[in-house]
Amino acid sequence: MSVIQLEDVVKRYDSGAETIEALKAVDFRAERGEMVVVTGPSGSGKSTMLNLIGLLDTPTAGTVRLDGRNVTDFDEDERTEERRSQLGFVFQDFHLLPMLTAAENVELPSMWDTDVDRRDRAVDLLGRVGLSDRLTHTPDELSGGQKQRVAIARSLINEPDILLADEPTGNLDQETGGTVLDEIARLKAAENIAVVAITHDEQLVQYADRVVRLVDGVVQ
Ligand SMILES: Nc1ncnc2c1ncn2[C@@H]1O[C@H](COP(=O)(O)OP(=O)(O)O)[C@@H](O)[C@H]1O
Ligand SMILES: [Mg+2]
């Protein structure tokens, strides 16, 4: 069973007089232990697709299944709980809180768990992304690649089934971007999670188990 499944998913945006069909009957699947890289030109619907998988938005038509469960009609509370427990997110601009240390940023999504060992898990995750010596650094004391590694560690703190990354290398030079994707690929295998990563850098598709190309809201 696929951990991510989109069936006939349509997303339309109504903005005033104009309707934009960002996704046109998209079918998509991803499996545990698989890293799917989604490419395609700007405006082709990549972020829209990722946001639907991540329950940050709802489709106009079609079905979203996570781990075989139909989550399309989940209400806001169910979506929030699903995001917290099953989904990790990594964004182009890192989204780290500037006043918190690396370790505190990693711990943050687990704050409303009464799990006493979350600091240990944060330290462990930062070690696994090569940042054992940066635990108490704040984001402004870290390089771009290090910031993205902190964000990757943070995305894994609640032991998600799925990691979603929207242009995770967009603010990094190509070599650093390659290292970051390499890191994601390693963690994916170790944690047996599904990764969906967007990039428009065609060099980075080498890290993918599978490449999906979106053009004009259609999977090619
Ligand atoms: N919130 C929104 N409201 C209206 N149009 C949107 C919105 N989000 C995205 N779009 C439009 O949907 C299309 C796909 O956008 P997006 O998924 O962000 O593409 P990509 O990530 O591939 O660059 C674009 O034409 C974009 O302008
Ligand atoms: Mg985008």
| pLDDT digit string, tens, across residues 111-150 | 877 766 889 999 999 999 999 999 999 999 999 999 999 9
- Exposed / middle / buried, residue 29 (Cβ in 10 Å: 0-12, 13-18, 19+): middle
Ligand 1, atom 12: closest residue by C-alpha: 22
**pLDDT value for 143:** 95
Kindly list the protein residues whose Cβ atom lies closer than 6 A to any atom of ligand 1.
13, 15, 20, 22, 40, 42-48
- Cβ atoms within 10 Å of 66's Cβ, excluding its own: 21
The pTM score is: 0.94
Rounded Cα–Cα distance for residues 156 and 173 (Å):
24
Residues in the chain where the model's pLDDT stays below 70: 115-116
According to the model, what pLDDT value does residue 115 have? 64
- For ligand 1, what atom is nearest to the CA of residue 51? 17
The secondary structure of 109-158 as a DSSP string is GGTTS--TTHHHHHHHHHHHTT-GGGTT--GGGS-HHHHHHHHHHHHTTT
CATH topology of domain 31-58+83-215: Rossmann fold (3.40.50)
- Would you give the DSSP letter of residue 16? T
Contact residues for 58 (Cβ-Cβ < 8 A; gap 6+): 52, 72
The pLDDT, as a whole number, for residue 114 is 72
Atom of ligand 1 nearest to the CA of 15: 4
- Check if the beta carbon of residue 183 is closer than 8 Å to that of residue 7: no
42 three-class SS: coil
